[in-house]
Structures are given as C-alpha cells and as structure tokens.
A and B are shown apart, each in its own frame.
Chain A
Amino acid sequence: MASETAAIVVRAHRPAPWRDTRLRGIALQIIFVAVIAAIIGFLAYNTTVNLRRQNIATGFGFLEREAAFGIGESLIPYSPADTYARAFLVGLTNTLYVSAIGIVLATILGTLMGLARLSRNWLVAKLAGVYVETFRNIPLALQLLFWWALLRQVAPGPREAWEPLPGVFVSNRGILFPVPLGQPAHLWMAVAFVIGLALAYVVHRWARQRQAETGWQFPAGWAGLGLALGLPLAVFLAYGAPLELDWPVLRGFNFAGGTAFSPEFGALLIGLVVYTGTFIAEIVRAGILAVSWGQSEAAMALGLRPGQRMRLVVLPQALRVIIPPMTSEYLSLTKNSSLAVIIGYPDLVSIANTTMNQTGQAVEGIAMIMAVYLAISLLISLCMNLYNRAVALVER
C-alpha cells in the first residue's frame, strides 16, 4: 500500500518538462556544447580561409625544412643548415637546462632566506625581509633587463673583468668560472658515491629497526653522510688526489679555458633565481609558521635537541604545507623562463618565434609551444605529487 501511495504522490508532482531539473540540465548542456562548437567551428573556418588566402600550407611539414638561422648557444650540436625540428629541439633543451638549474638554485636561495627571515638574529631577519620585499615587488621582465644591462653594458671588458671570487670572472662576455678537468678517477668517484648512498640506506634501515626493537639510537644520518662523501674521498685519495682545474685565463682580448655562462644565460638565471627565491622564501616561512608552537614545546618537553626538534617534529609537518605551493612555484619558474625572449636567450619560445616569423606557421608554432609547456607542467606536477604523497599525513 505504502509503495503505491508513494508512486501516486510522485506522479502527481511530476513537473512539466520545462521545470524538470534533470531535463533542463540536459537541454542546457546541449545548448552549451552547441554554442562552444559553433564558436570553435567559426574560428577554425576563418583560419582555414585566411591561411588559404595567404598561401600558407597547414601541417608540420615545415619542420623538415632547413632552418637557416643561427642560434647563439646550444647544448646539442646545431648549425643553420639543420632542420626546424632540430632548432626546436635546441630551444627545448635550453629551456629545460635553465629551468632545471634555476629550480635547484631558487630552492636553495629561497629556503635559506625563508629560514633567515625567521631567525632570532635581528639583522639577518631584516636583511632577508628586505630581499624578499624588494625582489618580489618588481616585475621579472624588468629584473631580467636590469641584470642583462648590468652584464652587457656596465660590466667591464675582459681585461678589467671583476673577480668576485678567485677564478670567477664577470665581464661583458659573461660569467666565467673554473671547472675540474676530466680524470678517470672521477668515474670511480661517482661509482663510490652511488655505493656509499646504497650503504647509507642500509645503515638507515638497520638503525631504525634497532631503535624500534631496543630503543637504542644510532647516528644514522652522520654515518650515511660519512659513507656517501667518505667513499668518493677515499677513492680520490687512492688515486693520488688528481685535481686539475681548468682556470679561465686572460689571453689577449678574451678569456681562454674555464666554462662560461653567456650574459643572456647569466641574466636569465640570476633573474629567475632571485625572483622565484622570494616566493619560495615566503612559502618556507609560512610552512614553518603553520606548525603550531605547541608541537615545538612538546618536542622540548620530550628532551629533543633543537636540531632534532626541527628534523623530527617541525619539518615533517611543515613539508606538508610547503610542497603543494612549491610545485606551483616550480611550474611558474619554468613558464617564466619563456621571458628569455626579451633578452635574446634562445629558449623554446624565442626559437619558435623566429620560426613563425620566417615560415608564417603561427598555428603550428603556438600549438607546439603549448604542447611542450603543458607536458612539462604535467611532468613536474606528477613528480611533486608523488613526493607529496610520501610526506602527506597518513590518516586512518
């Protein structure tokens, strides 16, 4: 009986079709999709008409043609006789190169400055504060132009180059620094380093297990550090300490030897690191402040030393707050590296721009840039999400 009544009630209250939320939802979506499709279709139609009128062939066939333009600096061999595809590859490697170095350096600088801002040392905290507030509030494009002008115009010629550190020269030809010459010992040192890391991991596992069983602590961190650094050092000494640095030396009007960052690369790297470092500093600071003071007090009550308190109690909790915004900073550093086009560093966007100007293949060029940046974004998000899962709070 009851179900019958319910059925009657439902039937009596069934709304008219235009008042039925479900039907209305479906109708709305159909209209919405139709409008979007119409807009896209209209734009696509105009584009094909315009392209045909300008006699531009669509498709990626142009990638096989000869690029016929030079590229200032490249990590892979390239000459103007190579194809556009090769030129794109050069741009991509340059973008990845500057982004990777930038991310590492910005993380170091940002973390140091974030910690410095929280320091109980008044002078250090204020200095870090001035750094963050200044460089965060000036557009990156302007900072890049500033560093570039500093390296290009203000910096002296090679003969009067500044020498901020022994062996490091800053002149209008770029930033030069010494690099160690390749030795067979270095390979074995790398092998020793890997073995040291593996041993450190084993020691760490053993120490944890022993602590869980007996409560006895073992300084696994120091032991691991000793293994990872000590083994390569032992190999180094066993080979008779073969260290020969390739120093930059002034010869005539220019430097020979060493490795150089061009003014463009130098300006881009400095700009990206200094700018992104301010944001990372704020993230680190906010992350550490987010761990409530009670946690620190509890750690002190348990008798943990300041270092242990930071490492075992505060940092693991702060990282949970720090990782997600850090991911978006890494992404924005990578995207900001496209500002290289302003100072003429041949990154992906800059090379794509040249290509588009030469061939008129604007649609394909932009599509390629977008595809590459989307792929990089997804990749970085994926890596950081994996790391985030490792540090995230495991709840029941």
Chain B
Amino acid sequence: MADIDIAQEIPIAAQRPPAASSGIIGWLKANLFNSVFNTILTILAAYFLAVTVPPLIRWAFIDAVWSAPNGQACRGAGACWAFIGEKLRFILFGRFPYAEQWRPLLVVMIIIGLILASCDRRLWGKRLMLLWPTGVVLVGILMWGGVFGLTYVDTELWSGLPLTLILAVIGMVFAFPLAILLALGRRSRLPAVRVVSVAYIELVRGVPLITVLFMASVMLPLFLPSGFTIDKLLRAQVAFILFAAAYLAEVIRGGLQSIPKGQIEAADALGLGYWRRIRLIVLPQALAMVIPPLVNNFIGAFKNTSLVLIIGLFDLLNTANTALTDSNWQGFATETYVFIAAIYFCFCFFMSRYSQMLEREFNRGHRR
C-alpha cells in the first residue's frame, strides 16, 4: 500500500538554485570575494577606480570645452577639445599644401586598405603580391604628384599621419627581402657570408634606433661623394629599413630553424638546387610559421616611426608637437597627446589583436 502512497505524492516544484551560488551574487562571490586576500584586492581595486575614473570622465567629457574661438576662451577645468578641432588638419597632414590635402587623405585610406587586405587569409599569395606594388606606386604618385595634373609636392612637406604610415609600411616592405637574405646568410654554409650576416645583425640590434637615425642624418652625407645628396626623408627611410631588417632577420631565422631536416634532405633528393630549395620548400613553411611575430615586429616598427622627430621629420608626433607651439593656443599638450595616442592605439591594438588571433589559429593543433 505504501508504494501507492508514494506514487500519488505530488512532486516538489522545481526550485531556483540558492542565490548565493548563481546569478550576480554567485558570480561576485566566485570572482571577487572568494577569499580574504581577494576581497582585499577587490576593495583596493574598486577604491582605485573610484578615485581615478570620475575625475577623468569629468575632465574628458563633462567639463570639456568642445568649441572655442581661441585658447583663452577654452581654458577651464576640463579638456579643451576645441583645440584638436582647430588643429585637426595640421596634426593629420602637417605642412602638406592645404588645398591638396585630399591626396594624403587618400594615401592614408589606401595604406589602411592594404593593411586590411593583408589580414584576409584568402588573399594571401599572388594577389597580395600584385596588390602591394600597385598600392605603393599609387601612394608615390599621390604624394609626389607632378603627373596627371597633380602639382609636385616636395618630400620636405610630407608630414603627419601619411608620413608615419609610409615610413612604417615602406620600411617593412623593403626590410623584408633584406631580412630574408640576412637570415639565410646567418645559416649559410659559407663562413664569410655567415660572419658578415651575424656581424651586421648583432651590431644593429645592439644599438638604439636613434643612433642609426643620427648616423643616417649626420654620417650618410659624409659617406657619399661630394655634390651627391639624398633628401632627409629617404635617408630616414633607409635607416629604418636597415634597422628593421636586422630584427626581422632574427624572427625569420626562428622560422628557418623550425624546418625539419627531412624537408631539406627531401628537396636535395629531388635534385633541387639551393635557391629552388629555399624558394619552393623552406621559405613557404618557415614564413608561415612566423607570421604572428612578424605582425608584432610590424607593430614595433610602426611605434618606432615616432622617433624620426629627433632628426626633424614631421611625422604624426612632430606635427602634434608643432601644433602646440601656436601662441593663440597655449598649454593644451595633454589633450593633443591623448588624441594622437588614441590614433596610435587604434592601429597597434587592431594589429596586436590580429596577431593574437592568428597565433590562436596556428596553435589550434597544439592546445590541450
């Protein structure tokens, strides 16, 4: 009879899990207050946020001045974004002739387009190899002008964001083949080639970029026959290429070292010569393996372009600095630096996220 009683009992209605182990409270307990030490850390972090964030928001948004006729009217408790509005075109394009500034704008868009296209894995290969030279030629035509009815603009006047992008992108494009040669040289059977490659790589990696830039701006004129001059931008660009090549070479060497010996022996067995072996067997595998560190290297090169202000080129950082010297608008350094920091950040953050994504994809087979 008892059995029947049990069968007739009404089942207990489903209950919600206890509030302390799920939902917001559960999450808080598991992630912020799961031990005494963590509770202290949470309180400290919350205090830090409470002290820093509200004044920052007040400075950047609530008390900020968004439009003002001059610096005097703009001075207050908050940020003066009116200054950025006033100087935006100078900061971005610098001393490029005002009426022609659509050209550097187009250049910036082309370069960003090229970078984005390079991120698409479906385009990797021959199509990118065609896209890049076309893009570089277009950039050259737009910046220099002198053809197709465009007025000629001297490199002295190139400045701002396009200059920064050109230095970084052209620098990497030309440093890359040089770096491959250096990396191959470092692993060469021929002692003379090896010694020269190692000496070059270690020497350049041992000194700061500033010295290489100084060398390009001060010593290069001494190295050349008298009466022969190259312009300042080209000198800086050459310094940049030579510097980046040494770092890239080490990255590529890492890829070369990871190719199993069997691959090379197989290439030998097929009767391939040195260059065909390198081109068809070794490089495709080695380069694919080092793409994430290559992207990181590119981020480094992009940040390093800001050093050209030392030798007097007007990159993004230097145009911003120059904008600060306007006597009508004094004392807005913080706003300006925050603004261009945001520009640099956007580029670098995007690229670093991309490299992290690639790394995850490449490591898919190795994860536990």
Contacts and interface: CB of A to CB of B under 8 A. Distances in A.
A33 interface: yes
Given A46-B224, A141-B317, A362 B218 contact: yes
A50 B228 CA distance: 11
A349 B349 contact: no
10 contacts: A32-B196, A121-B38, A124-B41, A133-B352, A138-B344, A138-B345, A138-B348, A366-B215, A373-B211, A374-B206
Contact of A150 (B38, B49, B207, B334): B334
Contacts of B224: 46
A122 B344 contact: no
A245 interface: no
A359 to B, nearest CB: 12
Interface string B315-346: 00100010000000001011001101100110
A47 B38 contact: no
B148 to A, nearest CB: 35
B46 to A, nearest CB: 7
Given A119-B41, A335-B208, A369-B214, 20 more contacts: A29-B192, A49-B225, A50-B226, A53-B226, A124-B41, A133-B352, A137-B349, A138-B344, A140-B306, A141-B307, A145-B337, A149-B337, A293-B368, A338-B208, A339-B210, A342-B309, A349-B211, A356-B218, A366-B219, A370-B206
Contact of A142 (B41, B207, B226, B344): B344
Interface in A121-160: 121-124, 127, 133-134, 136-143, 145-146, 149-150, 153-154
A166 interface: no
Interface of A: 25, 28-29, 32-33, 36, 43, 46-47, 49-51, 53, 119-124, 127, 133-134, 136-143, 145-146, 149-150, 153-154, 292-293, 335-336, 338-339, 341-342, 349, 353, 356, 362-363, 366, 369-370, 373-374, 377-378
B208 A362 contact: no
Kindly list the 5 A-B residue pairs having the minimum CB-CB distance in the complex, ordered from nearest: A149-B333, A137-B348, A122-B31, A29-B192, A139-B303
B310 interface: yes
Contacts of B307: 141, 339
B219 A363 contact: yes
Contact of B222 (A25, A46, A122, A145): A46
B218 A366 contact: yes
A153 B333 contact: yes
B195 to A, nearest CB: 9
B1 interface: no
Contacts of A140: 303, 306
A369 B309 contact: no
Contacts of A342: 309-310
A46 B227 CA distance: 11
A49 B226 contact: yes
Contacts of B226: 46, 49-50, 53
A145 B192 CA distance: 44
A369 B212 CA distance: 11
B190 interface: yes
A25 B194 CA distance: 12
B191 A154 contact: no
A43 B210 contact: no
A373 B193 contact: no
Secondary structure class of chain A's binding surface, majority of residues? helix
A120 B31 contact: yes
A142 to B, nearest CB: 6
Q: Is the interface of B mostly helix, strand, loop or mixed?
A: helix
Contacts of B46: 123
Interface in B218-251: 218-219, 221-226
A366 B219 CA distance: 9
A367 B207 CA distance: 11
A154 B332 CA distance: 9
Interface in B141-187: none
B136 interface: no
Nearest to A49: B226
Nearest to A48: B222
Contact of B345 (A51, A134, A153, A362): A134
A280 to B, nearest CB: 15
B21 to A, nearest CB: 16
B193 A29 contact: yes
Contacts of B333: 145-146, 149, 153-154
Contacts of B206: 370, 373-374, 377-378
A280 B368 CA distance: 25
Contact of B344 (A28, A137, A153, A292): A137
Nearest to A133: B349
Contacts of B34: 120
A363 B42 contact: no
Contacts of B48: 127
Contacts of A50: 221-222, 226
A45 B69 CA distance: 58
A234 B218 CA distance: 59
B45 interface: yes
B60 interface: no
B304 interface: yes
B344 A362 contact: no
A142 B344 CA distance: 10
B106 interface: no
Contacts of A142: 306, 317, 337, 340-341, 344
Nearest to A43: B223
A373 B334 contact: no
A145 B219 CA distance: 27
A370 B352 contact: no
B222 A362 contact: yes
B190, B211, B321, most chain A CB atoms within 10 A: B211
B303 A153 contact: no
| Residue of A46, A49, A141 with most partner-chain B CB within 10 A | A141
B203 interface: yes
A341 B331 CA distance: 22
A217 to B, nearest CB: 24
B364 interface: no
Contact of B211 (A47, A143, A366): A366
Contact of B189 (A25, A47, A141): A25
Contact of A139 (B32, B203, B225, B317): B317
Contact of A153 (B331, B340, B349): B331
A121 B208 contact: no
A29 B45 contact: no
B222 A373 contact: no
A349 B345 contact: no
A341 B310 CA distance: 8
A17 to B, nearest CB: 17
A374 B206 CA distance: 5
A338 B305 CA distance: 15
